[in-house]
Amino acid sequence: MSPAGLYVHIPFCRQKCAYCNFYSIVLEKDPSPFIHALLKELSFYADEFECFDTIYIGGGTPSILPVQSIADILTAVGRNYTILPEPEITVEVNPGDAESAYLESLRLSGVNRINIGIQSFDDRLLRFLGRRHDHRQAGAAIENAIAAGFDNIGLDLIYGIPGQTFGLWQETLSLALSFRPHHLSCYQLTLEADTSLGQQFADNLFDLPGDAAQAEFFFTTADFLENSGYIHYEVSNFARSASLFSRHNQKYWQHQPYLGLGPSAHSFCRGKRWWNHRSVEKYVDALLNGETPVEDAEILTADQLRTEALFLGFRTRWGIDLCDFEEKCHFNLLDEKRDALQRLAAAGLIEISGGRIRPTRTGLAVADQLALL
Amino acid sequence: MEHIRNFSIIAHIDHGKSTLADRLIQHTGVVNDRNFKDQILDNMEIERERGITIKSQAICLPYKARDGKTYALNLIDTPGHVDFSYEVSRSLASCEGVLLLIDAAQGVQAQTLANLYLAMEHDLEIIPVINKIDLPSADVERVIGQIETELGLDADSHLQCSAKEGTGIEEILETVVRRIPPPAGDPAAPLAALIFDAHYDPFRGTVIYCRIFAGQLKAGDIIRLMFNNALYRVEEVGHFLLNREKRQNLSAGEVGYIIAGVKTVSDVRTGDTITLENRPCEKPLPGFKEVKPVVYASIYPIASDDYEDLADSLEKFKLNDASFIYQKDSSVALGQGFRCGFLGLLHLDIVQERLEREYDLSIILSVPSVRFRFTLKDGAVLEVDNPAHYPDPIAIAKSEEPYIRAVMMMPDRYLGAVMKLCMEKRGANSTLTYTGPGRAELIFEMPLAEVIYDFYDRFKSVTQGYGSFDYDVIDYRESQLVLLDILVNGEKVDALSQIVHRERARARGLQACERLKEEIPRQMFKIAIQGVIGGEIISRTTISPFRKDVTAKCYGGDITRKRKLLEKQKKGKKRMKMIGSVSIPQSAFLAVLKSDAS
């Protein structure tokens, strides 16, 4: 089995962003009962997971925690599991928390990759998104990260925000590139019903860019970043070189095993997926009682495994390895779906060569539909 | 037998048959109030959803009359829509009398008359009942006048009720007992039982619904089905209360069911006579008039593997819907299927839905067509109800299409709009008669093809629901016909072809393209839809492909959710027919016939 990835979910924020539907609560009291619970959960899975080569601390807002807590978590991981040599250890950082001293300590505690939630350099759009930082803090955060010695810095950006013209988006992208980040995630704004923006949209308070405009955003972004030397390796992800691809996130797209700790975190191992309670309270209570905080689990059927392998594979530029797919899903794609694949290839949506089916950039934009072939 | 009354309620659609049936059932206490639900005889889901009766239903009501005796009143509830008059006619063959229900506000309508004539053909006792007298717009005096003048019945014989409020119900039951004669027929004579309906029960085999005209029948008897001499041993006989109620025997005059382990579904034919093997009756009872379908369409399984299932289901379905006919057919685009005949578009719609619900089938129906007639230059005459069999145009000497005589009744303020609609539908030779103050009867001769083409919906809408409509096919008339083909991405989809009048062809072609554009969801490729007549493209639309359809974020917690969404989409896609590279939904085939106005 390929080495597993470890995800740790820190479910706290200073305030909820208007678009975000990841599980988190506003931190009002001491987080240490949660940290204790988390350390306890860490000790539960030594039988299923021996070693990790990536660790990703996300949220929520992990940078809301003192560096000591992050260090404690990493130490505990090392105590319970083997961390393979040259691991990728990422922490998500909020621009408002990215003080030089904080970042430096983070790096000294073993973190070697940080991902900064910039989202935009336009203050008006940042306010619309409910972010608490402004463009100055965003720039300072990146500079501080560079100064702290990080040599793998990722930035998150959002496009397709109401009121955002192509011009404004281009400006944000150019500003981001001026810092030469190693990694960029450019997400189309997606509204979920259970968020404040989702509700406002349902109440017709604003409009989203139409279908054609969304496609335009997607393709101009890819063009612009590729011309600037970035590799478009997943629908929303770009990196300056293959060695800078997010190693942790690739595990999700390749059905490799991962262990998710913390409320709402998902784990996957040998065709089984399970997920934790989406509530800090339930999560902590379960662990206090010595139980795993798992809410539910599913064992994927062959059909489900196949569907997932398809839609996950088509999200990435390396696509689907046919041998690998047949071995894992017991399904010969080339034989069973010959006509459909030929049509997709003729339409310029995929390329079939070297034992792989790769989406073209046009195909990447409709990856979910490709998976329905 | 003195204590049996077999009767039916007939009326124009929406005049309150099912509601009156509900009240009669409640009044006789067959169901207690707790178990009662509205439209209780309409036990098909689809009947309740649409608020209409499709199938006739029989129920035996025990009623203690004022004379102190208890009677068995066999009530048969019947459908009202013009497409189902065949159901009515079959039910009437089992009755001695009818309640002719008339809406106090709407008065006599086209189906009131049509159903009255059916009852008269069967020589039945007719009791006019004015319903909905509680309505503010009720005009009882006017309706009484209509009973005399338009129906030619004795107005003094009428009853009044409000089925909704439950008034006048007892008087109706008393009148049924007093005026409708008990059934005739000799219980000692050889058995003669008329099959008027049947359905397939997966546990018991075919359940036969019959009316005993002579003789007796009990479990253990060996029966003979007279048309093919098939023999079966009777397992059970009984009456219908709300469910089947087992009885010792069935005797002359009674209506009931027979279970005889009939597994060969095609042995049972509605209209056939059942007799006893050891003491047969001399000749079969007069059966039912054979119905001629007016609309044809092909049914195909969405997945070709389901063909055998479809064949099996159609056989069972036919048992319960004698007016439905079918034979094998095949399509270049859709594969193996069946060509089917229907009594009208509503009938077609209902059949499609029943097949899907009751037999769990996913099917596609081709664009409906009427039966055209072509005389070829070599003198041969072809009847074509499937556009796929349209002859080579060079060989055609004469084309003809069926015409109907449409009878429409309405308040005269709608005359203008209705006339305009009929002219648009190539109507001719109209006659207008005033049947009473402000009420007009309009008769038009129209091509049947125009009537199946969204006429009924538009008629209802221009008369705001106050108009009624009935028709008979009268003859074939010469007409300029052409074949309109539809190409999807350059591939001809034969199930979308239509035979149309030359002058209408261009408009139909445009309409078909527009409708298909609305019905076919966007896909990953550009889809070109073209209307073609004789090689010439007369209309064209394109459906642009998705340019972007991908989830922005997909990490650990998003995967299960995303998969579930895709599984749902996949399911939806399975309900579509792949033609070449294009998935076409079921709805597209019928939508081709719909115009903007409907």
Cβ-count burial B121-145 (b if 16+ within 10 Å, e if not) = ebebbbbbbbbbbeeeebbbebbbb
Out of A265, A308, A349, the one facing B563 most closely (by C-beta) is: A308
**Residue A315 to residue B554, Cβ atoms within 8 A:** yes
User: Do B316 and B346 meet the contact criterion of CB atoms below 8 Å apart?
Assistant: no
Sign of CA dihedral A60, A62, A65, A68: positive
> In sequence order, what E strands does chain A have?
4-10, 12-13, 25-26, 51-59, 82-93, 113-119, 153-159, 183-188, 231-234, 237-239, 258-261, 266-269, 272-276, 294-299, 320-321, 350-353, 356-359
What is the per-residue pLDDT across A232-278, written as a single tens digit (0 to 9) for each? 999 999 999 999 999 999 999 999 999 999 999 999 999 999 999 99
On average, the pLDDT of chain A sits at: 95
Chain B residue closest in CA terms to A256? B556
The answer to whether residue B38 scores a pLDDT higher than 80 is: no
Q: What is the pLDDT of residues A287-311, one digit of tens each?
A: 999 999 999 999 999 999 999 999 9
- The Cα of B524 is separated from the nearest Cα of chain A by a number of Å equal to 7
pLDDT tens string B278-303: 999 988 887 766 677 888 999 999 88
B524, B559, B570 ranked by CB distance to A308: nearest: B559
Packing angle between helix A322-329 and helix A302-313, nearest 10 degrees? 160
The answer, for B571 touching chain A at a CB cutoff of 8 Å, is: no
Residue B598 has pLDDT above 50, yes or no: no
Angle between helix A280-288 and A32-42 (nearest 10): 60
> Contact, B489 vs B581, CB < 8 A?
yes
Express each pLDDT in B552-593 by its tens digit: 999 988 999 999 999 998 888 887 888 878 889 888 887 887
Q: What is the mean predicted confidence (pLDDT) over B197-213?
A: 85
Cβ contact A135:A121 at 8 Å: yes
With beta carbons under 8 A apart, name residues in chain B contacting A260.
Answer: 556-557
Beta bridge partners of B432: B442
Q: What is the rounded average pLDDT of the residues A56-73?
A: 96
C-alpha–C-alpha distance, residues B389 and B426, integer Å: 25
Residue A286 DSSP SS3: helix
Q: What's the CA gap between B351 and B327, in Å, rounded?
A: 15
pLDDT band at B80 (very low <50, low <70, confident <90, very high): low
- CA dist., res. B246 & res. B256, Å (int): 10
The answer to whether A306 and A331 have CB atoms below 8 angstroms apart is yes
User: Span B83-110, mean pLDDT?
Assistant: 83
Confidence category of residue B51, pLDDT binned at 50, 70, 90? low
User: What is the per-residue DSSP string for B284-299?
Assistant: PPP-PPPP---EEEEE
Q: Which of the 8 DSSP states describes residue B265?
A: G
**Predicted confidence (pLDDT) at residue B399 exceeds the cutoff of 60:** yes
Q: Could you tell me what percent of chain A has a pLDDT over 90?
A: 93
Per mean pLDDT, which range of A88-92, A94-98, B248-252 is the poorest? Answer: B248-252
Per-residue pLDDT band at B149 (split at 50, 70, 90): confident
Best B544, B550, B565, B567 member to test A by mutation, with max A CBs in 10 Å, is B550
Above 80 in pLDDT, residue B41? no
Cβ–Cβ gap A211/B562 under 8 Å = no
Q: Has residue B189 got a pLDDT over 70?
A: yes
Amino acid making up residue B364: I
Is some CB atom of chain A closer than 8 A to the CB atom of B578?
A: no
pLDDT the model gives residue B83: 67
Angle at B531 between CA B526 and CA B532, to 5 degrees: 125
**Mutation to test the B interface, candidates A19, A217, A368, most B Cβ within 10 Å:** A368
Chain position carrying tokens 């300056």? A240
Cα-flanking dihedrals φ and ψ of residue B66, to 5°?
Answer: -65, -20
**Per-residue pLDDT at B45 exceeds 90:** no
- Mean pLDDT, chain B, as a whole number? 86
Distances in Å between the Cα of B216 and the Cα atoms of A330, A347, B252 are 65, 73, 6
Q: Would you state the structure tokens that stand for residue B490, as one six-digit string? A: 């350059």
pLDDT top residue among B202 and B68: B68
B571 contacts in chain A (CB < 8 Å): none
The answer to whether B395 touches B404, Cβ cutoff 8 Å, is no
Identify the pLDDT of residue B139: 92
What number is the ipTM of this complex? 0.94
Question: Rounded mean pLDDT of B395-423?
Answer: 92
Give A68 to chain B, closest Cα distance, Å.
Answer: 26
Confidence of residue B155 (pLDDT cuts 50, 70, 90): confident
Tokens of B172: 């109706």
Residue range A10-16: mean pLDDT, rounded: 95
The partner residues of B399 in beta bridges, in order of sequence, read B374
Q: ω before B261 within 30° of 0 (cis)?
A: no
CB contact under 8 A, B559 and A298: no
pTM higher than the cut 0.80? no
Q: What pLDDT score does B205 carry?
A: 84
Instruction: Tell me how far apart the terminal alpha carbons of chain B are, to the nearest angstrom.
Output: 52
| pLDDT tens digits, B364-375 | 888 889 999 999
Least reliable range by pLDDT among A13-27, A219-233, B256-270, B504-518: B256-270
Residue of B nearest to A268 (CA): B556
Q: What is the pLDDT of residues B298-354, one digit of tens each?
A: 999 988 888 999 999 998 888 777 778 899 998 888 889 999 998 877 788 888 888
The predicted structure's pLDDT at residue B587: 83
